[in-house]
Structure 1
Amino acid sequence: MTEQMPCDGSGSWPLLAIDRSRRASLVDQIVGAISTMVNERQLGAGTKMPSVRQFAKINHVSTYTVVDAYERLHQRGLLCSRRGSGFFVNRNPSQAPCTPAAAPPGLQSESDALAPDLYSGLGDALPVGAGWLPPEWYGENTLLDAVRHALKIPAGRLRGYGHPLGFPSLRQYLASHLSGELFDVEPDQVLLTHGATHAFDLVLRTLTRPGDVVLVEDPGYGNLLSLVRHHGCIPVGIARGEAGLDMEELARQAAALGPKLMLVNTVLHNPLGTSLSQAQAHRLLALAEQFDFWLVEDDIYRELAAPGDASLAAMDGLRRVIRVGSFSKTLSPVLRVGSLCASRSLVPELLRVKMLTGLTTSEINERAVFDAISARGYRRMVERLSVQLGDARERSLEALGSVGLHPLARPRGGMFVSAGWPAAPGAEGRTGRTVADAALKSGILLAPGEFFTQRVPERIWFRFNAAYAANPQLLAFLRTQG
Structure 2
Amino acid sequence: MAGTGEDLRATKADPAWPALPIDRQRRGSLVDQIVAAISGMVNRRELRVGTKMPSVRQFAKVNAVSTFTVVESYDRLLHLGVLSSRRGSGFFVARGPDATSPPCPTAFTGNLSAAVDALTPDLYSGQSDALPVGAGWLPPEWYGESTILDAVRHAMKIPAGRLRGYGHPLGFPSLRQHLAHTLSDELCAVEAEQLLLTNGATHAFDLVLRTLTRPGDVVFVEDPGYSNLLALVRHHGCVPVGIPRGAAGLDMEALAREAELHHPKLMFVNTVLQNPLGTSLSQAQAHRLLALAEAFDFWLVEDDIYRELAAPGEASLAAMDGLRRVIRIGSFSKTLSPVLRVGSICASGSLIPELVRVKMLTGLTTSEVNERAVFDAICSRAYRRQTERLAQQLIEAGERAQEKLVEAGLQPLARPRGGMFVSAGWTSPATAERNGRTIAERALRAGILLAPGEFFSLRPPQTPWFRFNVAYAHEPLLLDFLRAQS
Q: Which TM-score band applies after superposition, normalised by the shorter structure?
A: 0.7 to 0.9
Deviations 1:392-443 (A, max 9, x none): 11110111011100000000110000000111110x6111011001001010
Within the alignment, does 1:305 sit opposite 2:264 as a pair? no
SS at match of 1:430: coil
SS at match of 2:381: coil
Indicate the residue corresponding to 2:221 in structure 1.
Answer: 216
Indicate the residue corresponding to 1:445 in structure 2.
Answer: 449
Indicate the residue corresponding to 2:261 in structure 1.
Answer: 256
Within the alignment, does 1:167 sit opposite 2:172 as a pair? yes
Within the alignment, does 1:84 sit opposite 2:89 as a pair? no
Is the CA contact (8 Å cut-off) linking 1:138 and 1:330 kept in structure 2? yes
**One-letter amino acid of the counterpart of residue 289, structure 2:** L
Within the alignment, does 1:122 sit opposite 2:127 as a pair? yes
Question: Which of these residues, 403, 410, 434, is aligned with residue 408 of structure 2?
Answer: 403
**One-letter amino acid of the counterpart of residue 44, structure 2:** S
Distance (whole Å) between structure 2 residues aligned to residue 113 and residue 222 of structure 1: 14
**One-letter amino acid of the counterpart of residue 430, structure 1:** R
Is the CA contact (8 Å cut-off) linking 2:402 and 2:412 kept in structure 1? yes
Question: Which of these residues, 379, 399, 420, is aligned with residue 384 of structure 2?
Answer: 379
Question: Which of these residues, 335, 340, 359, is aligned with residue 340 of structure 2?
Answer: 335
Residues 237 and 399 (structure 1), Cα distance of their counterparts in 2 relative to 1, 3 Å cut? same
SS at match of 1:82: helix
Distance (whole Å) between structure 1 residues aligned to residue 411 and residue 135 of structure 2: 20
Distance (whole Å) between structure 2 residues aligned to residue 129 and residue 397 of structure 1: 15
Is the CA contact (8 Å cut-off) linking 2:32 and 2:241 kept in structure 1? no
Alpha-carbon distance, 1:45 to partner: 4.6
Is the CA contact (8 Å cut-off) linking 1:195 and 1:338 kept in structure 2? yes
Indicate the residue corresponding to 2:479 in structure 1.
Answer: 475
Residues 271 and 69 (structure 1), Cα distance of their counterparts in 2 relative to 1, 3 Å cut? closer
Indicate the residue corresponding to 2:34 in structure 1.
Answer: 73
Indicate the residue corresponding to 1:158 in structure 2.
Answer: 163
**One-letter amino acid of the counterpart of residue 84, structure 1:** N
Distance (whole Å) between structure 2 residues aligned to residue 439 and residue 330 of structure 1: 29
SS at match of 1:268: coil
TM-score by length of 2: 0.81
Distance (whole Å) between structure 2 residues aligned to residue 329 and residue 86 of structure 1: 44
TM-score by length of 1: 0.82
Distance (whole Å) between structure 2 residues aligned to residue 74 and residue 171 of structure 1: 40
Alpha-carbon distance, 1:82 to partner: 3.4
Is the CA contact (8 Å cut-off) linking 1:86 and 1:211 kept in structure 2? no
Percent identical across equivalent pairs?
Answer: 70
Within the alignment, does 1:315 sit opposite 2:276 as a pair? no
Alignment of 1:16-415 (within 5 A): 41=14, 44-45=17-18, 71=32, 73-74=34-35, 79=38, 81-82=40-41, 84-85=43-44, 88=47, 93-94=62-63, 106-107=110-111, 112=117, 115-415=120-420
SS at match of 2:43: coil
Is the CA contact (8 Å cut-off) linking 2:451 and 2:466 kept in structure 1? yes
Alpha-carbon distance, 1:115 to partner: 1.3
Distance (whole Å) between structure 2 residues aligned to residue 462 and residue 295 of structure 1: 27
SS at match of 2:40: strand
SS at match of 1:400: helix
Distance (whole Å) between structure 1 residues aligned to residue 371 and residue 39 of structure 2: 45
Residues 165 and 430 (structure 1), Cα distance of their counterparts in 2 relative to 1, 3 Å cut? same
What are structure 2's unaligned runs of at least 5 residues?
Answer: 1-7, 21-28, 48-52, 66-72, 74-108
Distance (whole Å) between structure 1 residues aligned to residue 156 and residue 110 of structure 2: 44
Alpha-carbon distance, 1:107 to partner: 1.4
SS at match of 1:323: strand
**One-letter amino acid of the counterpart of residue 192, structure 1:** L
SS at match of 1:272: coil
Residues 299 and 95 (structure 1), Cα distance of their counterparts in 2 relative to 1, 3 Å cut? farther
Distance (whole Å) between structure 1 residues aligned to residue 118 and residue 343 of structure 2: 21
Indicate the residue corresponding to 2:469 in structure 1.
Answer: 465
Alpha-carbon distance, 1:182 to partner: 0.6
Distance (whole Å) between structure 2 residues aligned to residue 83 and residue 183 of structure 1: 38
Deviations 1:258-306 (A, max 9, x none): 1000000000000000000000000000000000000000000000011
Alignment coverage as a number of residue pairs? 419
Alpha-carbon distance, 1:475 to partner: 0.5
**One-letter amino acid of the counterpart of residue 40, structure 2:** S
Distance (whole Å) between structure 1 residues aligned to residue 309 and residue 480 of structure 2: 30
Distance (whole Å) between structure 1 residues aligned to residue 64 and residue 288 of structure 2: 28
Residues 46 and 404 (structure 1), Cα distance of their counterparts in 2 relative to 1, 3 Å cut? closer
Question: For the aligned residues, what is the CA RMSD?
Answer: 2.7
Residues 108 and 278 (structure 1), Cα distance of their counterparts in 2 relative to 1, 3 Å cut? farther
Residues 43 and 153 (structure 1), Cα distance of their counterparts in 2 relative to 1, 3 Å cut? farther
Is the CA contact (8 Å cut-off) linking 2:19 and 2:63 kept in structure 1? no
Residues 44 and 311 (structure 1), Cα distance of their counterparts in 2 relative to 1, 3 Å cut? same
Is the CA contact (8 Å cut-off) linking 2:39 and 2:217 kept in structure 1? no
Deviations 1:44-87 (A, max 9, x none): 4599xxxxxxxxxxxxxxxxxxxx99746347x7x462373367
Is the CA contact (8 Å cut-off) linking 2:272 and 2:281 kept in structure 1? yes
